[in-house]
Amino acid sequence: MTLPNLKNRTICFLLIIALILQSCAVYKKTPVTLNEAANVDRKILVVKTDNTKLKFKKIEKIDGVYYGLIKTKGQIEKIPLTESDLKTIRVLDKTATTIGNVAIVVGSLGVVFLVVAAIELSNLGDDWGDWSY
């Protein structure tokens, strides 16, 4: 494998990792009530009493019944929620999510630049001492 081919593959791999990791979400540490979650128009993380985690696009209250909205196969599915089955409800923290995503992208690009610089500098002294007059 030639060195330019290795450089291209390394750069592509690191950029793909950066793009995959930039979709992380950070939820607030303080739990909210089901009514408060229905009033917020953000993503919601619900932990049920059996410790299963559900991530909803939002929670709606229709005729006194709470529904969690999940997008599956391009369609919105409504899952009924009962307060007795829920352990914690946490709302998406937009500020922390934005900071985290920017930090991941900037950090990944920094690593890509460091790898490229290390590869380029490793070839710098290869012809040292090869002085033919």
* pLDDT tens figures, 61-94: 999 899 999 988 889 899 999 888 899 999 999 8
Split into its structural domains, the chain has a count of 2
pTM value is: 0.66
Q: 16 to each of 47, 99, 115, how far by Cα in Å? A: 31, 20, 15
Question: Do both 112 and 63 map to the same domain?
Answer: no
Distances (CA, A) of 122 to 5, 94, 110, 114: 16, 42, 18, 12
Residues 63 and 36 in one domain: yes
Q: Beta-carbon neighbour count of residue 108 at 10 Å?
A: 19
The dihedrals phi and psi of 63, each to the nearest 5 degrees, come to 55, 40
> Per-residue pLDDT tens for 10-64?
777 777 776 666 667 889 999 999 989 999 989 999 999 999 999 999 999 999 8
Q: Domain span at residue 72?
A: 27-92
Q: Are residues 20 and 37 in the same domain?
A: no
